[in-house]
Structure 1
Amino acid sequence: MYDKSEILLGIKNPYLLAREVNRSVHKKIKKPLIQSNCVDILNEDWDNLLILDACRYDYFKQESELPGTLDHRLSQGSSTTEFLIENFQNEKLHDTVYITANPMIYKKTNQINAEFYDICHVWNKEWDNDLYTVPPEAMTEYIEKYSKKHPNKKLLIHYNQPHHPFIGPTAEKNLDFSDYAEPVSNESRMNFWLKVSTGNVDISTHSLRQAYVETLRYTLPHIKDAIKLLNGKTVVSADHGEMLGERMSPLPIKGFGHPNGLYPNTLLKVPWLEHTRGERRKIIAEDPVSTVAEDDLEHQARERLGHLGYLVE
């Protein structure tokens, strides 16, 4: 169902109507056809799973020099919310610690309803108010701390990059992410990717792709540092990919971002890099520790999801 603001926005912009046609076809026809080929995260073999948010397989393959064996998988979701729901909804993950720079697990707690042994909300501790995100280097100390604190637990580590706000010279020159520093909840309902899609951001597709690649290049050395800290079998993957101006189907409009319910390869095909360091850990499930936040994080979660370009309810 669509709310009034979304319907009005679609009427005003034919592009959005065309995108909704594509979404309807993908949901009803494409998703059922590919569902059995999508990766089930919980049935895969890993001790540490590093999730790069919105990381495409093709760009990762092009840029990565990380140790390990690279393959690819099809994600179960085209957005973080869909990824979390499809993989973890109603699961009791008492052998897993979730270390996340993304507030979505907090904002959608009731809907996802997953029980992790522990959750570390890095987005509440290391948010960079100039970059409007958690930079990848800020994750390192938490990975080191929690790997030592929980040597018999799986670690699920969720980075924000290469999801925008982008980091690098092209973004600094062409994009002002302070324009998106407030939660998007008014009647315009236009986040960063919607503005790009409808021609309301003055940036070429080439520059947009360059900004994305520079963010990935900035991130990968920090992923390499994380791998060096972790014993056992580490997998580097993504929750979903990113559309950067490629044509969609069945209506051949250009696609940008990662909306729910659209399933082109650029969104579903994600890297799957495996690397083992030292001995495998003995994973033990135990009763979860208290994950009640010290403060009410609702406002901060909503605000920071707005920074990341989500349409915040």
Structure 2
Amino acid sequence: MTFRDWATETNERVREDGWRGVKESAYEFYVGLWRNVGKRINYGTPIWDEEWDICLVLDACRWDLIPEVDRPYLTNDWKYSVASSSGEWIPKTFDGRDTSDVAYVTANPYSKNLLDASSFALLDEVWEYGFDRDLRTIPADVVTDQALTAWADDPDRMVVHYMQPHHPFVPNPMDQGLPRQEFDSQPWDNVWHKLRKGEVERDEVWDGYVANLEYVLNHVETLLHNADADVLITSDHGNVLGEWGMYAHPDWVPLRSLKRVPWITTRAEDRGDYEPVDHSTREDERIDRDHQLEALGYK
């Protein structure tokens, strides 16, 4: 957004919302200052710096979320991500790299405009057919099934991009101040906006965040028990919950609390006790990408 665009939106907000519009534009201006810094000071470790067969990306997983859950394969190891948002992470990770031997199975809708399917051994955009209207996100079990289906075709390497623990929080959304709504009703007011406005408590959001990590790990474990591979578990970025006056995960913001992500190496061993379902042939109504981005809090 240019300064002129920001000024135009500010005038409109002030006319419509008065002081609330002033505060919203002030917040955007503040984040914009951080972005200008981030575009000059860039740091982080690419996933390619680690040896792995399968890289599992848990979208928006803060490093300090990991100690909140109990899994034998999880460690407290971490590194800094190359990005502070998915839309920044995807091109930084894949652009200019030979990915002809890589299968990328992704629930993140940013792949649509940022990637060329012909550059990959496989690009399975699970969000195109796997979005759940009630959950307002892409369920983790669908991603696991698609990843195991892709792995059976024996790619050299595979990146699996889950949408969780990124909000919406799947378990008990009513308990986390996130009431279910009809998909096509009023615009979704995501949890980070609610937290910034003081409409939900930080502890309440944190509990939902942890529960969402527990949820996705249940399905990650299905993958870990049904493939033979060296595995890296990491994230594209974290979230800020008020640190430095910011919320969510704005792109190009170089805060360490936002870019510090899990970096866990483990081993997957195939027990042969699960048969994945191929969801890509589903004939359910597909959800418009812009609606998905809104539901996921990107718009």
Partner of 2:62: 56
Given that 1:54 and 1:241 are in contact with CA atoms closer than 8 Å, whether structure 2 keeps it comes out as yes
Q: Does 1:136 align with 2:148?
A: no
Map residues 282-301 of structure 1 onto 2, 5 A cutoff.
Answer: 300-301=288-289
Instruction: Kindly state the Cα deviation for residue 225 of structure 1 after the two structures are TM-superposed.
Output: 1.7
What is the DSSP-based 3-state SS (H/G/I as helix, E as strand, rest coil) of the residue aligned with 2:219? helix
Given that 1:107 and 1:302 are in contact with CA atoms closer than 8 Å, whether structure 2 keeps it comes out as no
* Matched AA of 2:124: C
Instruction: Kindly state the Cα deviation for residue 169 of structure 1 after the two structures are TM-superposed.
Output: 2.5
Distance in 2, Cα, partners of 1:192 & 1:213 = 17
- Per-residue CA deviation, residues 259-311 of structure 1 (Å, 9 max, x unaligned), is 113222221000011013469xxxxxxxxxxxxx9x9x997222212221112
* Matched AA of 1:308: L
Instruction: Kindly state the Cα deviation for residue 16 of structure 1 after the two structures are TM-superposed.
Output: 4.0
Partner of 2:218: 221
* Matched AA of 1:138: V
Larger fraction in strand: 1
Partner of 2:274: none
* Matched AA of 1:102: N
Partner of 2:276: none
Structure scoring higher RCO (CA < 8 A, sep ≥ 6) equals 1
Instruction: Kindly state the Cα deviation for residue 144 of structure 1 after the two structures are TM-superposed.
Output: 1.7
Query: How many equivalent pairs are there?
Result: 279
Q: Does 1:237 align with 2:241?
A: no
What is the DSSP-based 3-state SS (H/G/I as helix, E as strand, rest coil) of the residue aligned with 2:160? strand
Distance in 1, Cα, partners of 2:257 & 2:48 = 23
- Per-residue CA deviation, residues 147-171 of structure 1 (Å, 9 max, x unaligned), is 111x242111000001111122354
Distance in 2, Cα, partners of 1:153 & 1:97 = 8
Distance in 2, Cα, partners of 1:16 & 1:206 = 27
- Per-residue CA deviation, residues 91-121 of structure 1 (Å, 9 max, x unaligned), is 33101001011111013347xx982221112
Given that 1:191 and 1:310 are in contact with CA atoms closer than 8 Å, whether structure 2 keeps it comes out as no
Aligned partner of 1:247 among 243, 247, 259: 243
Distance in 2, Cα, partners of 1:9 & 1:229 = 54
Backbone CA RMSD of aligned residues: 3.2
Partner of 1:282: none
Q: Does 1:165 align with 2:168?
A: yes
Q: Does 1:268 align with 2:266?
A: no
Instruction: Kindly state the Cα deviation for residue 32 of structure 1 after the two structures are TM-superposed.
Output: 4.1
Distance in 2, Cα, partners of 1:169 & 1:183 = 21
Task: Give the share of equivalent positions with the same residue, in percent.
Answer: 24
- Per-residue CA deviation, residues 246-268 of structure 1 (Å, 9 max, x unaligned), is 331xxxx2x22111132222210
- Per-residue CA deviation, residues 149-203 of structure 1 (Å, 9 max, x unaligned), is 1x2421110000011111223544521253775797xxxxx8525632552x732
